[in-house]
Structure 1
Amino acid sequence: MGEYLPGNLQERLRELREANGFNSRNKLADEIGIDRTTYGRIENGSTKTISSDILIKLSKLYGVPTDYILGISNTPEDTRYDIAELGLSVEAAKNLYSKKVDPRVVNELLINDRFAVAAKLMADFFSGAVTQMLTAHNALLNFSMDTLNELVVSGKIPNDKDVAETRKKLKASRIQTNKFEIDKIQMYLMKAVKEIQVKVSKEIAENNKIDETLCYEILNAVKEASKEIPNMKDLPMEEKKKILKQVIMDGIQLNPDMPDMDEEKRKTIVDDVFDLLAGT
Structure 2
Amino acid sequence: MELSIQERLKDLRVERGLTLEQLAEQTHLSKSALGSYEAEDFKDISHYAIIKLAKFYGVTADYLLGLTGTKNHPNADLADLRLSDDMIELLKSGLVDNSLLCELAVHPDFPRLMADLEIYVNGIAGKQVQSANAIVDTMSATIMKQYNPGLTDPQLRQLVAAHLDEDEFCRYVIQRDINGIALDLREAHKEDFFSVPEDNLLEDFLQMIEETVKEDSDPEQAALVFICKRLKLNLKKLSDEEKKWLKKIAQKSDLLKNPNTQRGRK
TM-score bracket relative to the smaller structure: 0.3 to 0.5
Larger Rg computed on CA atoms = 1
TM-score by length of 1: 0.40
TM-score by length of 2: 0.42
Q: Which has the higher contact order (CA 8 A, sep 6+)?
A: 1
